[in-house]
Amino acid sequence: MPISELTLKSSDHEPARRFEVFTGSGRRREWLPEEKARIVAESYEAGATVSAVARRYALSPQQLFAWRRAARQPLAEAPALESLFVPAVIAAPRPEPAARRRRKQKAARDGVIELEIDGVAMRVGRGADTRTVAAVIRALKATT
């Protein structure tokens, strides 16, 4: 069939008509959740733009923005977790040999602070971060 037969013929007083040719399967692509997550993560990388990542995967930027928005949403159907209890076993400390006790006593004199709040003991050694120690003390006070 010659090309001349494929062209649209119109008269001079008729406006030109436009038609589109669709190639491909004509179906929507289905992306696996892992693929979506990988593409969304790639769009958050330093220096990456949503438009560039969308072009790379033949997506519209709007589609990628929708995936990013969905990824930020909390899971609506989080699996129900069954409450579990773990038994606490409290055992008496084993007696240490005398040589070890002497070393620990000497170390205790070398700048260790021991705190006890409602039966919970805490030892703070030299060089401990003050913010961490303060946070632990606040947590101990909050639990009592």
Q: Is the pLDDT of residue 26 over 70?
A: no
Residue of 127, 92, 131, 124 whose CA lies nearest to 108: 124
Contacts of 63 (CB under 8 A, 6+ apart): 54
| Count of beta carbons in the 10 Å neighbourhood of residue 54 | 19
Q: What pLDDT was estimated at residue 99?
A: 63
Residue 128 lies in a domain: yes
Domains of the chain: total? 2
Residue 89 lies in a domain: no
The helix (H) or strand (E) run that includes residue 114 is: strand 113-117
Residues 67 and 65: their CA atoms lie apart, in Å, by 5
Residue 119 lies in a domain: yes
Q: What mean pLDDT do residues 29-42 have?
A: 92
Residue 83 lies in a domain: no
pTM for this entry: 0.38
Residue 114 lies in a domain: yes
Residue 90 lies in a domain: no
Range of the domain at 62: 29-74
Q: Is the pLDDT of residue 93 over 80?
A: no
Residues 27 and 98: their CA atoms lie apart, in Å, by 79
Q: Is the pLDDT of residue 58 over 80?
A: yes
Residues 5/6/11/13 CA torsion (nearest 10 deg)? -170
Residues 76 and 74: their CA atoms lie apart, in Å, by 6
Residue 84 lies in a domain: no
Residue 94 lies in a domain: no
DSSP structure string for 37-83? HHHHHHHTSTT--HHHHHHHTT--HHHHHHHHHHHHSPPTTPPPPPP
Q: If you average pLDDT over every residue of the chain, what do you get?
A: 77
